[in-house]
Amino acid sequence: MEAISEAAMSSDRSSSRRGGGGGLSNSEAGLREGAYSAIGAQMQMSSRGPAAATAAAAAAAAAAAAAVSAGGAGRGGSVVGVSGEDLASTTNGASSSSADLPGSAVPKLVPYLSRSRRHLPASSESPELRLDELRALFNKANGDPLRIRGIGAGAWGSVFIALLVDMYGHLQDKIDIRIWRRPGRALDKEFSERLFSIINSREDVLRRLLRRCAYLKYVEARLGDRVLYAEEILRDGFCVNMVDTPLCPLRVVTNLQEAVWDADIVVNGVPSTETRAVFKDIGSIWRERSLPPAVIISLAKGVEAALEPFPHILTPTLIIHQATGVPMENLLYLGGPNIAAEIYSREYANARLCGSEKWRKPLSRFIRQPHFAVWDNSDLVTHEVMGGLKNVYAIGAGIVAELTRESATCKSVYFAHSTSEMIYITQLLTEEPESLTGPLLADTYVTLLKGRNAWYGQQLASGVLTPSMGDSVKGKGMIQGVSAVAAFHDLLSHESLRVPHPETDQKVPPIELCPILKTLYMILHSREVGVEEILDVLRDKHDPRDRIALAHTCGIPRILMGFPELLQNVQ
């Protein structure tokens, strides 16, 4: 294999010299030549043992850095702040005791931690002890790893799995962590060039790819000689929806049955709009297995509105329950506040894991990290509803921020009215909702301040995007607030639901007391008004507290969540 690879590289070098590499400029040819030299040297030396491989990695890093700097000079591809000397000196510190990569004598990287992350104190409880506690709950014997599978590779889904790999990946005899994503998504040359620039601006990432013999394909993609695929780059730690924040390398599975067949814990990272379809397939797979039901942690934030036989809302955990038959006791929801890239960069964050006590307490301890506090809570309903609502109102927050040029006063007025609508809606949906305080309020705040839904609102207000372009945006993924607007609007405008209007005392649909939600629907779905209409809502003369007080006395039966045991009591 080594001889074949060298022959292939030599052949390609020759073609580059003869004909400019198929139209390559001198800088491009230099880039390829340097990359081949670096990788070829590493391949040749790796067979001579770990010490030689480590020395080769140093030489390879230096050669690659020089090649990239020289080759990219003509097209803006220089390495930012990285020199061959820096790379060589730091690579000499590589451990020669690491386990070898499959099919290679190149030392394997320990779980990747970026130098840019903050240095935080170690947890007082070792990862192995926490893992052993969880393994005991699953009755795991020695030699039988705990199998965790992420489903969906969006930003938060990928980061969540990467956090677990960083924490527990070295305990490979006790845990097996993988992530599933659909195969075949090709990445265009523009994306490949951007990714190549990011790789070359991060010396830790560049060094890691060289050690994994994975750098060359990014060179070829940048030159337009190769097409990269989403699942391919995810294995190297790059998520297409968050490419600016490289992750640790992940074990990627593209066959859904292979991913979930023997899974103990499944992490739902697909958008709420895709949850039903994906878990319907998973349910079909699981009907053939004899293992106990898996435990499912849902990260999805969104809802469906069901209007028959009466209006009720369906959250992701309820959708999964319907699609798979997994008991509600085994379904949990992890809510923020969380901005995926910031959490992986070790910014301090917290979250709540909601569900049954049997699983939420041990799993919250298992997920917890020094920079990521995870509390547990029994109120699954309120947290999931709020998880969907915050995305709705984040779109409006982005519109207001853009139209008012980030006016703090206008944004605070919007925050007051939007949170009162969220509390009002939640009061209609559940018997004893938790107050909008602590993490719930923090999650709402950070989502209105920053995130893809707020970004989407800003793009609408600036005219860069329009509602007709849909809710799937390149580089951002699914804007889940768009479908949630329609779901909550359809539910709260149903003819069977009536509440007293505070001024006329006439019975009106609840949507009439949610002017922001109603306006967002007219902007995004019926398209009756423009984005500027949202500013008129800020002039609402009613005290937001009145809306909340009204929800306590509206008289609507609190059965809108659609729980099976409640549905049986419907007249």
Q: Write the CATH number for 367.
A: 3.40.50.720
How many residues comprise the chain?
A: 571
Asked which of 324, 351, 377 is the last residue of a domain, the reply is: 377
The amino acid sitting at 516 is I
Supply φ then ψ for residue 229, to 5 degrees.
-120, 150
Asked which of 358, 377, 396 is the last residue of a domain, the reply is: 377
- Does residue 398 share a domain with residue 359? no
Q: Return the pLDDT at 80.
A: 35
- Does residue 488 share a domain with residue 360? no
Q: Return the pLDDT at 111.
A: 41
Separation between Cα atoms, residue 457 and residue 438, nearest integer Å: 25
Separation between Cα atoms, residue 184 and residue 228, nearest integer Å: 10
Here the tokens at position 301 are 């934030």
What residues contact 193, with CB distance under 8 A and at least 6 apart? Answer: 222
Around 113, how many Cα atoms within 13 Å sit in the side-chain half-sphere?
Answer: 14
Closest to 198 (Cα-Cα) out of 343, 293, 309, 68: 68
Residue 451 gets the label, from left (phi > 0), alpha (psi -120 to 50) or beta, of: left
Is 459 inside a domain boundary?
yes
- Does residue 501 share a domain with residue 447? yes
Buried b (16+ CB within 10 A) or exposed e, 493-504: bbeebbbeeeee
Cβ atoms within 10 A of the Cβ of 438, count?
Answer: 13
- Does residue 410 share a domain with residue 273? no
Is 249 inside a domain boundary?
yes
Q: Write the CATH number for 440.
A: 1.10.1040.10
Q: How many domains does the chain have?
A: 2
Is 152 inside a domain boundary?
yes
Separation between Cα atoms, residue 292 and residue 498, nearest integer Å: 44
- Does residue 262 share a domain with residue 342? yes
Is 278 inside a domain boundary?
yes
Is 113 inside a domain boundary?
no
Torsion sign (Cα): 146, 152, 153, 156 = negative
Is 343 inside a domain boundary?
yes
Separation between Cα atoms, residue 516 and residue 261, nearest integer Å: 44
Question: Which residues are 349's β-sheet partners?
Answer: 372
The whole-angstrom distance between residue 502's C-alpha and the CA centroid of its chain comes to: 41
The pTM score is 0.76
- Does residue 358 share a domain with residue 264? yes
Separation between Cα atoms, residue 246 and residue 114, nearest integer Å: 9
Q: Return the pLDDT at 153.
A: 95
User: Residue 514 in contact with residue 387, Cβ under 8 Å?
Assistant: no
- Does residue 281 share a domain with residue 263? yes
Q: Return the pLDDT at 233.
A: 97
- Does residue 389 share a domain with residue 355? no
**What are the residue ranges in the chain where pLDDT is below 70?**
1-124, 430-439, 541-542, 544, 547-548, 550-571
Separation between Cα atoms, residue 38 and residue 213, nearest integer Å: 10
- Does residue 428 share a domain with residue 351? no
Q: Return the pLDDT at 31.
A: 56
Q: Return the pLDDT at 307.
A: 80
Packing angle of the helix pair 480-492, 380-403 (nearest 10 deg)? 110
Closest to 161 (Cα-Cα) out of 264, 232, 267: 267
Residues annotated as part of the active site: 390
- Does residue 351 share a domain with residue 429? no
Is 13 inside a domain boundary?
no
Q: Residue 518 sits in which domain range? A: 384-552
Is 233 inside a domain boundary?
yes
- Does residue 399 share a domain with residue 339? no
- Does residue 410 share a domain with residue 334? no
Per DSSP, the three-state class of 93 is: coil
